[in-house]
Chain A
Amino acid sequence: MASIVVDDIHVEFPIHGSQQSLRETMFRQAVGGLIRRNKSGRGGIVVTALSGISFTLNDGDRLGLIGPNGAGKSTLLKVLAGVYEPVAGRVLIDGRLTSLLDVMPGLDGDDTGYENIMTAAMLFGIKRADILAKLPEIEEFSELGEYLGLPVRTYSSGMMSRLAVAVATIVEPGVLLIDEGIGAGDARFAARAAVRLSDFISRSRILVLASHSEGMIRKTCNRAALLRSGRLLAIGDVEDILSQYRDLTQTPPEAVATSTDVPDQANSRA
């Protein structure tokens, strides 16, 4: 039984070195989390990226995260992935975790494709021998040919995502976290990536997918969650949530109440 338990998490980003103009900017911007002054009065800026989010996922759940830019979708994925530890609340996960986020982990532009494959795979926790065994599969799927021997800074962004998808999908997914950007590329590759990803997703026990694409969420997910300014507005049936999302994107930002209360505990840590 795989499961994810998210229990009242709060995430805040202290922005160090922000400009004076940014300091003066507060509240009510159309996109992003809530920006406010650090209450301790030291003049810092804190962006509340997620606040008070709770949900539970079990085997077979495929959750789509949807919401406007800066709603906290990617941050939530990174919290689930264990990249960010929330300032309050906790995340419990049962199952082998695989995350396909925006950049290949450990990516270095001066290293060759092969070197980056090895680094990323090791960070995913795959043993060296297993990576070597999977290498032909990666070569075949990525179709990068001799480019794999060149530094990845020479790659186009489409080639980068070929590499990322090829590497990430060699692991056995248990709990799978995917950020939408992955699987870009030209149309033919996008189709192949879609096949490989959907096969990969079907082997996973739990999926959390962040996307702007209603089509992708409708096709892949059996549950959906609507995020806005770091808050979970609704979670439930896909069609229901998607229609709420459509309503939301048609209303001006002022219409949605963004309250400013944040737990005190979170303030002191920022």
Chain B
Amino acid sequence: MTSQGPLPQATTALRDLVEGLSQWDVYGRLGWLDVKRRYRRTVLGPGWSVINLALFTGSLGMIGVGLWNQSAEAYLPFLTSGLVVWMLISTMMTEACAVFVNGANFVRQIKLNYSILVYALVWRNFIGFLHNLVVYVVVALIFPPIGIMSPATLLVVPGLALLLLNGAWIGLLLGLCCLRFRDVQQLVGTVIQISIFITPIFWPPEVLKGTSRAIFVAYNPLYHLIEVVRAPLIGQVPSASTYWAVLITTAVGWTVAYLAFSRFRKRIPYWS
């Protein structure tokens, strides 16, 4: 910062995103503190999200087995893995709405790369995902899916990477929208509530046929975002169309989020 003469205080969206990403020590710490804060003054701490998920799976599992005429061995791993991934997506979306709203103590006190707050959000949700994964591991031990030991399972890693990459643009875009228009948060809540039912999480995609299948499965980006991690978790290879759908979602989402961020980045402290 010295000897090149005075530098402009203004920065660009691209620099914010790239420089922010390199400050892993900062967002790593912020994300970790968020996790700690959530469980402070609770007795069971992270145990709560595991218990929540376990009860959810247990009760829905019983209904689902009857409803879709599936065997418990096939249905429970499908349901649990889907729920674990869905919880990652839905909490990222919910928290995205508050990422800049709650960041006032950052954005109004010091010059910083705003993207750090988004990376912290993704990081803390990834930590939460690892907690919840325990439930799936238990289910998979009781009802091992066919192919769980196959190399297909390794596709979890790129799948998760893609999912988190999508989480980052969602955080950026929803964070901006909700900061400026506080109603968006309510809207997002509603969308999430509906999505859990219209996306194949509780019900296997095969039960839908024809047009409704096309709408709720083939053209549902949430389905593909879930599938890209869920399929490898139950030992299957996601289809090529799923990868294409996720790649297109990623590209479109990042383009829109980047344009919005570069246009409105400097308004963030004013809106907060």
Interface residues in chain A, defined as those with a beta carbon under 8 Å from any beta carbon in chain B: 3-5, 13-14, 16-17, 78-85, 90-97, 99, 101-108, 110-111, 115, 118-119, 122-124, 127-128, 174
Contact = CB atoms under 8 A, between A and B. Distances in A.
Contacts of B1: 94-97, 174
Contacts of A122: 25-26, 29
B180 A16 contact: yes
Nearest to B108: A83
26 contacts: A5-B6, A14-B270, A82-B11, A82-B111, A83-B110, A84-B270, A85-B266, A90-B8, A92-B8, A92-B9, A96-B2, A97-B1, A97-B111, A101-B110, A103-B105, A105-B112, A106-B105, A106-B106, A107-B109, A108-B33, A108-B37, A108-B105, A110-B37, A122-B29, A123-B110, A128-B25
A173 to B, nearest CB: 13
B10 A85 contact: yes
A200 B270 CA distance: 31
Interface in B162-201: 180, 182
Interface string B34-45: 000100100000
Given A95-B1, A104-B109, A105-B109, A82 B9 contact: yes
B143 interface: no
Interface in B26-60: 26, 29-30, 33, 37, 40
A79 B10 CA distance: 10
Contacts of A124: 110
Contacts of A96: 1-2
Given A3-B6, A79-B9, 20 more contacts: A16-B180, A17-B182, A80-B9, A81-B110, A91-B9, A92-B6, A93-B6, A94-B2, A94-B5, A99-B110, A101-B109, A105-B112, A107-B109, A110-B37, A118-B29, A122-B29, A123-B26, A123-B110, A123-B112, A128-B25
A151 to B, nearest CB: 8
Nearest to A84: B269
B111 A119 contact: no
Given A90-B8, A105-B106, A106-B106, A83 B111 contact: yes
Contacts of B269: 78, 83-84
B107 interface: yes
Nearest to B180: A16
Contacts of A105: 105-106, 109-110, 112
Given A102-B109, A105-B106, A123-B112, A111 B6 contact: no
B271 interface: yes
B270 A119 contact: no
A96 B9 CA distance: 12
B29 A83 contact: no
Contacts of B110: 81, 83, 99, 101, 105-106, 123-124
B7 interface: yes
A78 B108 contact: yes
Interface of B: 1-2, 4-11, 25-26, 29-30, 33, 37, 40, 105-112, 180, 182, 266, 269-271
A83 B2 contact: no
Contacts of B105: 103, 105-108
Contacts of B112: 105, 123
A59 to B, nearest CB: 12
Contacts of B5: 94
A94 B266 CA distance: 21
Contacts of B30: 106, 119
Contacts of B11: 82
A13 B270 contact: yes
A261 B183 CA distance: 33
Contact of A110 (B8, B40, B111): B40
A96 B6 CA distance: 11
A221 to B, nearest CB: 21
Nearest to A111: B33
A111 B111 CA distance: 22
B126 to A, nearest CB: 20
Contact of B6 (A4, A83, A85, A108): A4
* Interface hub of A17, A82, A95, A99 (most chain B Cβ within 10 A): A82
User: Which residue, of B26, B105, B107, B182, has the highest number of chain A Cβ atoms within 10 A?
Assistant: B105
A21 B105 CA distance: 29
A94 B7 contact: yes
Contact of B111 (A5, A14, A81, A108): A81
B180 A93 contact: no
Of the candidates B5, B11, B107, B110, the one having the most CB atoms from chain A within 10 angstroms of its own CB is B110
A94 B270 CA distance: 25
Contacts of A127: 25
A106 B109 contact: yes
Contacts of A104: 109
